[in-house]
Each structure stands twice: as C-alpha cells, then as structure tokens.
Structure 1
Amino acid sequence: GRTRALAVTVAAVCVDLALVYLLDLGWSLRDDGHVASTLLRRWLSSCLRCAAACGASLVAPGSFRPALRRLLATHCALGPVVETGRVLLASDCLLESFRLWAGSLAAAGVACFFWEVTWPDGNGESNGTEKKQKARVLFMRVIRLYRPDFLFMLGAFIFLALAVLCEMFIPFYTGKVIDILQSQYQWNDFLMAIVFMGLFSLGSSFSAGSRGGLFMCAIGRFTKRVKVQLFGALVRQEIGFFETTKTGDITSRLSTDTNLMARAVALNVNVLVRTFIRTLGMLSLMLSLSWKLTVLMLMETPLTGLAQNIYDTYYQRLSKEVQDSMARTNDTAEEAVSGIRTVRGFNAERSESRRYDARLMDTHKLKTHRDTVRAVYLLVRRLTEVAVKVAMLYYGRLIIQSGQMSTGNLVSFLLYQSDMADNIRTLIYIFGDMLNSVGAAGKVFEYLDREPKVKTEGTLKPDTLKGHVQFHNLTFSYPTQAEQQVLKYFSLELKPGKMTALVGPSGGGKTTCVSLLERFYQAQQGEILLDGQPLQSYQHKYLHNQIVMVGQEPVLFSGSVKDNITYGLENCSLERVQEAARKANAHEFICQLEKGYDTDVGERGSLLAGGQKQRIAIARALVREPQVLILDEVTSSLDMESENMVQQTLANCPNQTLLVIAHRLKTIERADQIVVIDGGTVAERGTHEELMDKKGSYYRLRERLFTDHNTTQGQH
C-alpha cells in the first residue's frame, strides 16, 4: 500500500510538472505582456492542472487518496496565489516557472502536513466527526440549562463587548501620545489623548469587573441547580447501580464535572468571545496602521498553530502518564503505612523504601521528560516570536523612512502584535478546553438521563392494606454476578398477622428475599404480590411506608435523635416519636441523654453505642406503623432485657405481617412459620415443633448452632 501510494504521488507530480511547461509554452506564444491576462492564464492553468492531478489520484489507495488530493490541489493553487500576491504588492521580480512550481510544492507539503496533524483522515475521520457532533449536542444542552440565568449571561456579554472595545483603543492612543510628543507639541491634542486613554482605561476596568461578577453569579446559580438535579437523579437509581458504580465516580460527577459544565459556557465562551472580538478589532486596527506589517505578522500564525497542536497532544499524554505514576507512588506508600505491622514483622523496611524510591524515580523521569518537552516548545515559540518581531522592526524602519508610517503608529502596531499572538494561542487552546468541559458534561448527562432499572412509577395506594405477601417463582441474580442465580423458582407466602422466620446458611438467599420485597432489585423472572397486586403497581412513597425494614447494622445520619426517628416523614409529632421509642425500649436511654430527643447522634451515629443505634432504628420503623415489618438480625446488638421487650412489642401487633431473619434460633421459636432457605430454594417449612420432629435441615442447623454456642461459652 505504501509503495503504491509513493509511486502514484511521484507519477502525479511528474505529470503536473509536464503540464506546467506545456501550458507555459502555450501561453508564452500568446503573451501580450498585460498583468491581468498573465494572472488569468495562471489561474486557468491551475484549474486544468488540478483537474488532471485529481484524476490521477483515482488510482491511489483509498485511505491515502484524500491526503494526496489535498496535496495536489493546494500545490496547484499556491502558484497563482503567490503570483497574485506579488502583483498586489507591486513587486518587480517575477519568479520563473520552475522556481514557482518548486516553491508551491514545498508550501503545499507543509500545508497538507498541518492539515493531516490537525484533521487526520482514515479510520478516525468518522469517529472524529461523531465526537464533534456529540460535543455540539452536549454544548447546546448545557446552553439550554443556562436559560434561567439568561439575564445574567446577557448582561455579562454586553459588558464583555464594552470591555474589549475599550481595551482595543488604549494602545492606539498610546501611539497618538508618542506622535504628539515627537512633533510640534500641542497641549490641547496631548490633553485630549490623555483624557481618552483614561476614559477607555476606566471603561475597560469597570466593564471587565461587571462582566466577571455577572459570570460568577451565573456560574454559581447554574452549578447549584445542576448539582441538585444530578443528586436527585442519583438517589432515584436502583441499588444495583451503586453496587456497579464506584463511589469516587459519583462524587466526582457531583463535585468536579458539574463545575466543568459551568465552565463550558460561562468561562470558556467568555474567553472565546472576548478573544475573538479582540482579535478582529485588533486586526482591523492593525490593517489601518499598516497592511504590509499585518501580512508579515500573520505569517507566524500557522507556525505557532501547528507547534501548539503538536505540543498539546504530546504534553497531555505525558501529563496523564505522570498522574498515573504519581498514583502508583501514592499507592505504594499507602500500602506500606497501612500494613506497617506486616512490614515490621517481616523486616521489610528497606525493601519497601527501595520500592518507594523506584516509584519516585519513575515519576521523576516522566516529569523531566514532560518538562523538557515544554521547555523545547517554549523555546521554539519564543524564537519564532523574536524572529517575526525582528523582521517587523526591520521592515517597520524601512516603512517609517519611506514616510508611509509614523513612529507612534509603529509602537501601537507592536503593542497590538504582542497581544495578537496571545489571542491566537488562546483561540487554539480554548477549543480543546471546551471539548474537555463538554466531555465532563456528557458524563453528567449520562447520569441525568439514566432510567432506573427498578421503576418507581406505580400509582396504587389503597386506604387499607392487609399485608398479604406472595413470592411467585422468583429467579434472581445480582447485577455484579449475573451468571450466578441466588434464587431459583422461589415461592413463599407471608400471611397477615403472622410471623414468618427465614433461617438457613449464609448465602442461601435470605437477605435477597428481603431486598426484593423492599424493591431494591427487580427479579429476572417471577413476581411479588402484595394483597394480590404486583409490588411495582404501588406508589413508591406509600409502599415504603407500609413495608419497613430494620437491618442488622442500621445507618443513622448526622442530626438529632428525633430527626433520625422521623427520617423521611413530614409533620410527625413528638408524641408519636416518643410512643415508637417506648415500643423499641429506647425512650429511657434517650431521656438520659444531655438534650433528650434533640441530642446530636454524630456522623453515622458515632456518639451512640451499637445497641442504642439498633433501638433507634427499630423506633424509626415503628413510628411509621407499617403493615409489613422486616427484621434482619435486629436483636444481635441488644441485651436480653431489650430483646425481650422488643419481642413483646412485636407480639402486641396482631395485624402486622412480620418477616424475621435471625441466626439465634431461640429468637424465632415463637414464629408461626419457619422457612429454611438453602441454595436459593425452600428446603423446609413449618413450625418449630414440626421441623424439630422431622429432624431435617432445621434440626441439624439448630444442633450445630447450639453446639457452637456452648463451645464459645466454655472458652469464655
């Protein structure tokens, strides 16, 4: 493929060279010496050569064809462009055909190289197009989210335009002042120039400050609004989403990516519009001062643009490698510190130090490489700037000597030129930064648009609920282990006013039943009925007020005891809270706290003991007066007195459907129905006496636990 592409390129260039001499020979026979007719012939020749070259490119390999066509088309067009430019510049020297042809070929090669680096073809072309289209769609979505901040953004852009206009005229009047001081001094002209400079400076400062303030207000409002929307979308997701998504990813979306979204419009568009207006304004003023120096200055643009593009790509890759290396270094240090007992026990201090030193050395080498690349780029950029500036100073001196330009105008032009280079680099950089910001917006929109796999769109909320629960042929696998079935055609019935106990070995499926009943997951097959209706038919809030679970390790939130008991409820009276606390045997210890029910429990309830947290969690469930109450090892952290009181409280709720999971089998001996779950299926069911008489799974499980309990007591 490469050999064929090279052969086609050489052949096309040779054909083009032959056409140049043939056409020049033909035109020379009819040359009338007129400049206009000469230029017209050059352009016609260019069109004919371009058509012939594009036809020759049809035999090139498909992936190479677009690049070859660009090379040939640019090469054919550059000759007439250069010739036209020389005529417009009133140059007396005309290049010979071969020199013009060779120069245009070299220039075309450089132009196509720049094109290929910036917008490559091939397999990445469609991906790049799709990426740009996606970025454009995301960008418009971010703009639509800014609608409530329209007035802030409008005012900010108005002040932005005023600030830029005022800034542009300051160098212009600086040159005026220099010209006034060099010529015959006129006080009135000098005073007017100083007054205008002061007014433009004041206007620029005031407008810039107002612009920044309005943008900051818009960004703050936008960020708060998006964070609230994102948080609301996240907490509506199913439990499986949080099991498959890292907590760091979620917090990063909330804290970092939402801020980058705000920057995508407010800050980046601010910089982009400001720089674009300044660039156009400065370019127009520079053209009015000297169009020849302006053309000379613009010759720097493609060189700096190409260097910036190559540098950004390479530097970003090196920066990512440095970050990854630093992460590995930190992981090494964290492993050694967290496992210091093991390190000390195996006398591995020196080996850990050497390992950490090796990681640091890798990071140091990468940083040195990255900083060297940056230094070389800065050196190339500065040398280019110096070369262009020296050329402008030299050419500017010639223009001043010829009387076409004043010294003050040259000073103004140089001031504009130094800002113009920065503006062009900013325009090149800001597009990449906006793409990164829009990429962060895409991650946020991914969560905002995500539909929970467990729907909460039910509307059913009957006035009375019996609490009759039926599990029908459930088959379920967790999202993280889709190939492993936890429940297999599982069926179970929970009758109103009855207590059902689930027992069995760990991993048998007991907690999974509870999770499905709580609508944390959706079974792949089968359904759960509540009073004859599917669970998903019930309104989300109604369902979770009627089906309440108390876990083995309850979660409390920072706030008062009352806030934790009434968590998720509105307008709950203190009397209801105290009554639920009494039923959970928590009222007595709560009253002994420093501020009673207003006592802060600390982060995650850290200021309370395990048994106290458990009783508050039970009170939080009972205050809702649920029809179906699920207890998952709730008495594991309670003393005997509290456990007996809680069991008596549950016995006093004759209409509630109780589902209890316990490893302490003595707790569930009073259950109306005991179900032994093993391997995701029902192994046995019946009362305590019935199952003991069978001497099956329940009997063996009880005997084993009883033996383990006696052994533990003997050791103590």
Structure 2
Amino acid sequence: MTLLWKMRFILKAYWKQYLLAFVCLQTVAILNQLPPWLIGRVVDEITTDSLTGDELWMIMAGILISAVAIYGLRYVWRALLYGASVNIVREQRDLLFQHLTRMSPAFYHRHTTGDLMAHATNDLNAVEDCAGGGIMTLIDSFIAGFTVLAAMIFVVSGKLTLWILIPFPALIWATSRYGILMHERFGKAQESFSALNEEARETVSGIRAVRAHQLNNRQHRRFHEQSRNTLDANRRVARVDALFIPSVQIFFGLAFVIALMGGAWLIQGNEMTIGMLTTFTLYLGQLLSPMMQLGWQFSIFQRGSASWNRLEKLFAQKPEVTDQPDATEAPASHDLRFAINSFNYPDSERPVLEDIHFNAPAGSFIGITGRTGSGKSSLFRVLLREFNLQDSSSITLGNQPIESIKLHALRDQFAWVPQEPMLFSGSIARNIALSNPDATQAEIEKAAKQAAIHDEIMAFQNGYETLLGEHGINLSGGQKQRVAFARALLADAPILLLDDAFSALDMKTEATILKNLASLHSKTILLITQRLPELIKADHILVIEEGRIVEQGTHGTLLGNEGWYARIYRQQARTLQLQDFNQQVSA
C-alpha cells in the first residue's frame, strides 16, 4: 500500500482504465458465486428426488452463460490493467532517460553504466509488474475475497464462516513477515545484478584489450564469481518466495477441516443441508484463489517496492550544473575571456586549474599544450559547464559570464572533438549528421572532405551508408577521429574545441586538416595538442604545467624563451626531419 501511495500521481492519469477494470472484476466476482449456488441446489434436489430434466438444463445453461460472461469480462480487465501498466512504465522509462541526460559528470562518477542499465530494465520491469499484475491481484483478491465471504455469510451460514476464519490472523502475520524479508533480499539481488551487468559491459566494450593482454581467463573468473553472487542473492529471494503458497495451503487445509467438521455438526442439528455444505466448500475453494493471489501479490509488491526505492534515490539526485533563474540566450559576440583563480573537481580537494588568465578573441586560433595530466582537458570541461567554477573564477562569452547563459544556448556555441571520439551504432552518414540531423548529403560530404575522410568513406562498399559497430569498432583510430571532426564541422558552431583531435593521424593527413582549418577564418579554434608543429600558425599559445600557465605567447616568442615549449618543439622537429629523411631513402 505504501508503494501505491507513492505511485498515486502516476496512476491517477489512468484512473478511468483502472475504474472500468475494477467494475469488471466486481462483476466477475459476483458471477463466480452463481455456479456454486446452482450446484448446491442440484445436490439438495437430488437428495430429495425433486430434480426435473428441464430444471437441470436451465441450471446447466445458467452455469454456461456465467462462464462465457466471466471469460469476456476477464479479457477486458486484463487488457485494461496491463495496457495501463505498460504505458506507465514507458512514461517512467522516458523520464528516467531524460533525467540521465540532464545529469552532470559527477553523477556518472558515482554510478556505473551497469547500475544505471539495471535501473532502466530490471527495476522498471518490477514496477511494471506492480502497476499491472500487482494491482490486479490486490484488487481481485479483495473484491473476490469479500464477495465470496459475503456469499458464505448471507447465502449459506455466518456461523460456519466465522469458524473457518479462525486460522487467518496467523496467515496474515506469516505473509507480512515474508514480505519484509522479500523487500530486503530483493533489493540486494538487484544490487548484485547491477554489478553483474557492469562486469559484462566492461568486458564486452573492452574486448580488444582483454584479448590483447590475454585476460580472457581473468575476466571469465571475475564474471563467474559475480554471477555466483547474483545467483546466491536470487536464491535467497526464491527461498522466501517459495514460502507463500505452501503457507496459504496449510492454513486453507485447516480451514477445510473446520468446514467439514462444522458443516457435519450443523447438518446434524438441521441448521444446514448437504447442498448448502457443498455450496460452502465450493465457496471456500474460491476463497483459496484470492488468498494465494494475495500471497503472490505480497511478493510482487515487495519486489516493486525495493525497485521503486532504488529509482526514487536516482530521481532524487539533481544535476549540479543547472540554468540560473535569470539565464539568457547566448550573446552575439564570441570573444572568450578566462579568469580561473582555482578549480577542483567535486570529489577532490586538489586544484586541477590555478591562475588561468587569457583571452581568445572571436576568430582567433589558440593553441594549448603541456604534459599529459597537466589539466588541459579540464579547461574545456569548465568552458562547456560540465562543472561549476569556484573561488570567484569566471569565464565570459561576449563579456557575459557563462553561468548567466542558458545551458543549451551556451553549448550550441561550441563544437567539441574529444580525445576519445564517441561513435554510435548506425551508418557513417548518421554519425556525422549527429550534430545536425537535418543536414543534406552534400553538406555531410563537404564536412567529411574538410576532415580528410571522404575518400576513405567512399572506398567502403556501402560508402556513407556503411554501418558502424558499437563505438565504431570497424574503424581505425584515425578514422574515428576524422568522423568526429567532420561531425564538429557540420555543427557549424562559432567555436571549435579540439582536444588532441589529431593524435591518431599521420603527418600528411594532419597537414591537410590544418590547412582546411586555416580557411575557417570566422571560427574561434581552441586546439589542445602535444604535437607542437600543429601550433606554428596559432595566434596565441598556452603551455600548462600542473594546472598553471607557465608559458604563453606566439610560436616565435616561445621559441625565443628557451623554455619547455622550445625544447620539446626542437625535439619533435628533429624527429620529423629524421622521418622525412627515412621516407626519402626508402623511396
């Protein structure tokens, strides 16, 4: 009942379907009382030798008609209830998906993908069982149970009915105890399934690494161990689940014994006929079904309650980054100004960015370099407002703090190519057009040509309609980067954020793309890279070390400073010269 109260606002939208289903249930419960009463009448008339053929045919016709009516009504209420439950869970699944897409990265640091998938599948399936079969059995149990009891009291014998109810308080106590155990154990079983789901996802998504490092046996052992844990957790659930029906049967067996003994005593006292006792036992048999349903319903609702509690905890978490109440659309100007005094991630006290101050005028080319782990990518993450800035830090777009701009409007100003491009299952064309679903084929091909991937796409048998596997597994690393780069260009955003976007490319392809980038005069380009020759034509270059800017200026200025930039650039230049020499010798 607690679960139903929590779900009341969801169920309210389907009250007409539920009401009509309950009317059908009540009608079925009333019609179910007719056959036992008719059978009892036949028994009494047989014992008195007063049954006629015509009367027997009428009784048989009455039983047949009630059976057909019950069949039709049961079909109607099942269709209504299960139809409503499917729609309810579809809406909840949509809400869950929307909730997940709004959450900030910190949320995904706390939850594994396997856990979130378990919420979207097993937990919502358990809720669907409650909204459909659970509510059906609950209402059916009460309606049928009270209708049968009313027939037993008013049609047969109130005294005998009172006697057979003596064992029922003990049955109610036992099933409530089972319900508490079921809630606790099913919650643990769902958590175990989440861990199993995550183990399987990690292994499948990282299958190349698993095979390359010969980790097949190790991953199999890990999966087997987690699978055993999940099996044990579900066995503990099954042990409790298995107690419901036997307990009901034991108490009903006792009730039948009481009914037969009490009925025989009442017949001896001329308070009941044999036909009435027959009717009573048939009614008692009908009462067994609602009570067994009630036991099953306890199991369903305890499972649903455990899953709903898990979903509630998930929905209760709010995104750390949201629109301010007075947020506005993005300004027309695209000048960027960074004034970051200090920034650290929510789960860490160590700053990853400190004293970052520089400007990126609209249309400029800003290069950002430094050692791995120096905080370069974090700069893009705060610019995209994946995290909130702290300590009076600010980033402005067109002299407007990014916090005062609506999130969707702010992110529309950027096209981002991450270090590890994310490709989705589907065609290459669809992946490129992800940033602009309405793009024409000509626009898709133009972006692909600028990203120097068009010729390679056309070399595939199906060209742009070539289907990609999960994460673009049938493409090389360089091809993935260029497909992601084409996607960014197709977005036609005024600011390009390139996070080591050419790391998997050869020098010739890289040079082609940089040449194409140079033609995009209207776009602001922020390029993170460790290949310093890429930055020769940059308007301004930042060298970041341990979250701080240790050098900045033009390429020529930094070479003259004889610092980290100059040293690494000369090392890379000598390497490139040596590679060119080796290629000439090989030719």
Relative to the length of structure 1, the TM-score reads 0.70
Contact kept in structure 2, 1:459 and 1:538, CA below 8 Å: yes
* 1:113 alignment partner in structure 2: none
**1:212 alignment counterpart:** 78
Whether 1:306 and 2:173 are equivalent positions in the alignment is yes
Q: Is the 8 A contact 2:24 2:74 kept in 1?
A: yes
Aligned pair 1:621/2:452, yes or no?
no
Map of 1:180 onto structure 2? 45
SS at match of 2:426: coil
Look up the SS of the partner of 1:154 in the other structure: helix
SS in 1 for 2:538: coil
Is 1:669–2:536 an aligned residue pair?
yes
Question: Residues 368-447 of structure 1 correspond to what in structure 2 (within 5 A)?
Answer: 382-424=249-291, 426-427=293-294, 430=297, 433-434=300-301, 436-447=303-314
Q: 1:170 aligns with which of 20, 24, 35?
A: 35
- TM-superposed deviation, 1:629: 0.9
Q: What's 1:296 paired with?
A: 163
Distance in 1 separating the partners of 2:535 and 2:118: 45
Answering whether residue 519 of structure 2 is matched by residue 652 of structure 1, we say yes
Q: Percent identity?
A: 25
SS at match of 1:567: helix
| Aligned partner (choices 158, 161, 168) of residue 26 of structure 2 | 161
Q: For residue 650 of structure 1, what is the amino acid of its counterpart?
A: L
Superimposed CA distance per residue, residues 265-323 of structure 1 (whole angstroms, 9 cap, x where no aligned partner): 33322211111111111111111211221111010101222233344445666778889
The 5 A counterparts of 1:313-392 are 313-314=180-181, 382-392=249-259
Mapped partners of 1:331, 1:652: distance in 2? 45
Q: Could you tell me which amino acid in structure 2 is paired with residue 697 of structure 1?
A: W
What does 1:46-57 correspond to in 2, within 5 Å? none
Distance 1:648 1:484, change over 3 A: same
Structure whose CA Rg is larger = 1
- Residues 441 and 396 (structure 1 numbering): CA distance in 2 closer, same or farther, change over 3 Å? same
Q: State the AA in 2 paired with 1:195.
A: A
Question: Is 1:139–1:438's contact at 8 Å kept on the other side of the alignment?
Answer: no
Change (3 A) 1:342 1:508: closer
Amino acid at match of 2:19: L
Q: Contact (CA 8 Å) 1:562, 1:597: kept in 2 or not?
A: yes
CA contact (8 A) 2:85 2:128 kept: yes
User: Quick check: 1:318–1:370 contact (8 Å CA) kept in 2?
Assistant: no
Q: CA deviation at 1:538?
A: 3.1
Give distance in 2, aligned partners of 1:408 and 1:277: 25
CA distance in 1, matches of 2:501, 2:407: 25
User: Structure 1 377/535 Cα, relative in aligned 2: closer, same or farther at 3 Å?
Assistant: closer
Matches within 5 A, 1:184-333: 184=49, 185-288=51-154, 289-314=156-181
Task: Please name the residue that 2:386 is paired with.
Answer: 520
* Structure 2 residue identity aligned to 1:460: E
What runs of 5+ residues in structure 2 fail to find an aligned partner?
Answer: none
Call closer, same or farther: CA 1:141–1:714 in 2, change over 3 Å. farther
In the TM superposition, 1:622-637 aligns within 5 A as 622-637=489-504
Rate the CA distance shift 1:236–1:315 in 2: closer, same or farther, 3 A: closer
Any idea what SS the aligned residue of 2:354 has? strand
Structure 2: distance between partners of 1:274 and 1:646: 69
For the pair 1:460 / 2:325, whether they are aligned, the reply is: no
Q: For residues 371 and 25 of structure 2, what CA distance do their matches in structure 1 show?
A: 69
Higher relative contact order (CA 8 A, sep 6+): 2
In structure 2, distance between residues paired with 1:660 and 1:173: 87
Relative to the length of structure 2, the TM-score reads 0.84
Report SS of the residue matched to 2:338: strand
Which residue in the other structure is 1:565 paired with? 432
1:107 corresponds in structure 2 to none
**Are 2:533 and 2:573, in contact at CA under 8 Å, matched by a contact in 1?**
no
Residue 12 of structure 1 aligns with which residue? none
Matched residue SS, 2:421: coil
Q: Distance in 2 between matches of 1:166 and 1:291?
A: 21
Distance 1:562 1:629, change over 3 A: same
CA apart distance, 1:253: 2.3
The alignment partner of 1:659 has SS state of strand
The letter for the 2-side match of 1:153 is Y
Give the counterpart letter for 2:6 in structure 1. L
> Matches of 1:236 and 1:369 in 2, distance apart?
34
SS of 2:559's equivalent in the other structure is: helix
2:3 matched to 1:138?
A: no
Q: 1:608 matched to which residue of 2? A: 475
**Aligned mates of 1:571, 1:360 — CA distance in 2:** 48
Equivalent residues of 2:43, 2:275 under 8 A apart:
yes
CA distance in 2, matches of 1:410, 1:447: 55
Q: Give, as a single letter, the amino acid of the residue that structure 1 aligns with 2:529.
A: A
The count of residues paired between Structure 1 and Structure 2 equals 568
Q: Could you tell me whether the CA contact under 8 Å between 1:554 and 1:617 is conserved in 2? A: yes
Distance 1:598 1:369 in 2: 48
1:10-49 matches, within 5 Å, as: none
Mapped to 2, the partners of 1:608 and 1:292 lie a distance apart of 80
> Structure 2: how far apart are the matches of 1:614 and 1:212?
52
Report which stretch shifted further, 199-208 or 169-178.
169-178
Residues 1:324 and 1:572: Cα distance change in structure 2 (over 3 Å): closer
User: Once the two structures are superposed, what CA deviation does each residue of 1:36-80 show, in whole Å capped at 9, x if it has no partner?
Assistant: xxxxxxxxxxxxxxxxxxxxxxxxxxxxxxxxxxxxxxxxxxxxx
| Cα drift, residue 429 of structure 1 | 5.6
Q: Distance in 1 between matches of 2:447 and 2:47?
A: 92
Quick one: structure 1 residues 367 and 154, their matched pair in 2 at CA, closer, same or farther if it must change by over 3 Å?
closer
- Residue aligning to 2:458: 591
Taking only aligned residues, the RMSD between alpha carbons, in angstroms, comes to 4.0
Moved more, 506-515 or 493-502: 493-502
- Write the distance in 2 (CA, Å) between the matches of 1:226 and 1:375: 30
**Residue 328 of structure 2 aligns to which amino acid in structure 1?**
T
2:328 matches 1:483: no
Q: Deviations over 1:10-49 (max 9, x none)?
A: xxxxxxxxxxxxxxxxxxxxxxxxxxxxxxxxxxxxxxxx
CA distance in 1, matches of 2:233, 2:536: 68
Structure 1, unmatched stretches of 5+, are 1-131
Contact 2:115 2:197 in 1 (8 A): no
